[in-house]
Amino acid sequence: MRAQHGEARMSELENTRGLIRKLWPKEQAMLRDHLLRLDKESRRLRFAHGVSDAFIEDYAARMADLGAIVFAYMEDGEIRGAAELKKVGDVWGREAETAFSVEKTFHDRGIGTELMGRVIRAARNRGVQILFMSCLAENNRMQTIARKHEAELRFQYGEVVGEIIPEEPNYFSLLAEAVEDRVGFMMTVFDLQRRVVAAA
């Protein structure tokens, strides 16, 4: 799905026309809808077991309360991919958890890889040193992505627990996240305007 002629290029990703940005707390419904669109197999890989619609609805509703950071790949006002960065405990500490989901029709376009880059940097900027990413041993696609980010994977009870050890934060990593937040905001406003005009 490459950018159409004349269409504003909103993505740094080669084969997409969407945008990755942080989700705002009031946008939980969009995360819920994205997770609900995951097919049965993707749900099993994402949550390490099959989950019902009711489970997803409850899970998405709790995201903001948990103070999680969610990076979303957005296209035409819908979330098509998401990466969650969650605290272990009440405050950001040495360890955090992460999880990824990209809808099937959007696979293999580099979205998961880019989302993981954002998560690692956000973790680094919050002083997190170890990121736990639990995925099933058969999940080769996720392991390919983790390897691209030089993750260290260790096997545990039939699952793969990826420990990603980010570097210390620095001026550039903090600045890059802040700039991307601003760009994400501006592009969302432009996109909204574009869709309102198109609908009129």
Ligand X SMILES: CC(C)(COP(=O)(O)OP(=O)(O)OC[C@H]1O[C@@H](n2cnc3c(N)ncnc32)[C@H](O)[C@@H]1OP(=O)(O)O)[C@@H](O)C(=O)NCCC(=O)NCCS
The residues binding ligand X (CB under 6 A) are 42, 45-46, 99-102, 107-113, 133, 135, 139-142, 144-145
Q: Among residues 20 and 142, whose Cβ is nearest to ligand X?
A: 142
Contact between residue 169 and residue 184 where contact means Cβ atoms under 8 Å apart = no
Beta bridge partner(s), residue 160: 135, 155
φ and ψ at residue 173, rounded to 5 degrees:
-70, -35
In the complex, least distance from residue 35 CB atom to ligand X, rounded to whole angstroms = 10
Q: Which residues contact 111 (CB under 8 A, 6 or more apart)?
A: 13, 16, 20, 73, 80, 81, 102
Q: Among residues 117 and 169, whose Cβ is nearest to ligand X?
A: 117
* Residue number of the CB atom closest to ligand X: 112
In the complex, least distance from residue 132 CB atom to ligand X, rounded to whole angstroms = 10
Q: Among residues 15 and 193, whose Cβ is nearest to ligand X?
A: 15
In the complex, least distance from residue 122 CB atom to ligand X, rounded to whole angstroms = 16
Q: Among residues 148 and 195, whose Cβ is nearest to ligand X?
A: 148
Q: Which residues of 54-63 are buried (b: 16+ CB within 10 A; e: fewer)?
A: eebeebbeeb
